[in-house]
Amino acid sequence: MKTETLEQETITKTGLNDFQETWLEAFLIDRKAQNCAAGTLHTYGAKLRLWATFCDTQVITRVGQVNPDVIRRWLIWLEQTNHNPGGIHAAYTTLRVFMRWYWDETDQPGNPPISKVKAPKVPQQQLPPADLKDVQRLLKTCGVDLLGLRDRAMMLTLLDTGARAAELCSLDIDDLELTTGQVIIRHGKGGKYRTAFLSQPTRKAIRSYLKARTDNNPALWLANNGDRLTYSGLRIMVERRAKLAGITHPTLHSFRRAFALEMLRAGVDVYSLQNLMGHADLQVLRRYLKQRDDDLWAAHAKGSPVERMKRR
């Protein structure tokens, strides 16, 4: 009876019903209309399905029934159902985006209940970059046929630009200026546009690949069937090359981490690196730049005050 009264009050105050299922669907439509990246849309959909599943177990059908305690119990439920800390944090972030959007969309007074729930902590684990020796082994498996030329050029571009895998797959031939090495990444994370660059060896590899092609497809990277290569196709390619090289396959994102770490080691300043990688702030970049013990040893050997004092 109390629940029915609460629901009726919500409808009266807003002039709208607050059926959660309706608003979750409306939110995803809005995100799609905002041209969110496909990966972001997938994450939103997956995490909100987890939220909806939990709400079903609690007989929660309306947004007005959600309070901070419900959200906290959901986070505990995610942990108990074997979701890792990163996944739980992503789920919390997704629900926060949805609730802020709903509050704004329906002109709700005050702040959404999730504003009283702290984000779950994520352990700052060291994420390994692709080993450059392993990359060289991968490249050695590439022959001079069209497939080999493509795979070699792709892996070099992935390492040379620090591009995300999805960004690499979305490149068109017209996005490259092979004379200067400039690359326009038009479909960055969050729809952001940025410029990356290619070294001379990478440009040479791309020219060889393009010269061997006989099609008119505008996409830079093509699958065996002549269509644009997908993220899945790129991942399968690296796994296949790793098997041929007799090594454990590196993840696609580890190429991006290798780019960041090698640029740092070469003395590139973090602000330029932030722009090259398309990060909104340095906080995200810090996860890529977790240096290994040998880097820290070299830094200490170079700057040790005791060693410097000895030389004076």
| The residue count for the chain | 312
Q: Collapsing DSSP states into helix, strand and coil, what is residue 197?
A: strand
Residue 257 is a catalytic residue: no
Please list, in sequence order, all residues whose beta carbon lies within 8 angstroms of the beta carbon of residue 202, skipping any fewer than 6 positions away. 153, 156, 157, 160, 181
- Please pick, among 150, 152, 257, 279, the residue that the annotation labels catalytic: 279
- The 10 Å CB-count burial string (b at 16+, else e) for 136-163 is ebbbebbeeeeebbbbbbbbbbbbbbbb
> Which candidate in 44, 92, 102, 288 is catalytic?
288
- Please tell me which residue in 31, 152, 164, 241 is annotated as part of the active site: 164
**Choice among 189, 203, 249, 257 that is catalytic:** 189
Q: Which of 207, 253, 287, 290 is catalytic?
A: 253
Active site residue 31: no
CB 18 within 8 A of CB 99: no
Active site residue 164: yes
> Residue 273: which residues within 8 A CB-CB, separation 6 or more?
260, 263, 264, 285
189 is catalytic: yes
**CA separation for the pair 90, 73 (Å, rounded):** 16
Instruction: Let me know if 256 is a catalytic residue.
Output: yes
Strand segments (E) across 20-63: none
Residue 187 bears catalytic tag: no
Catalytic residue numbers, as ranges: 164, 189, 253, 256, 279, 288
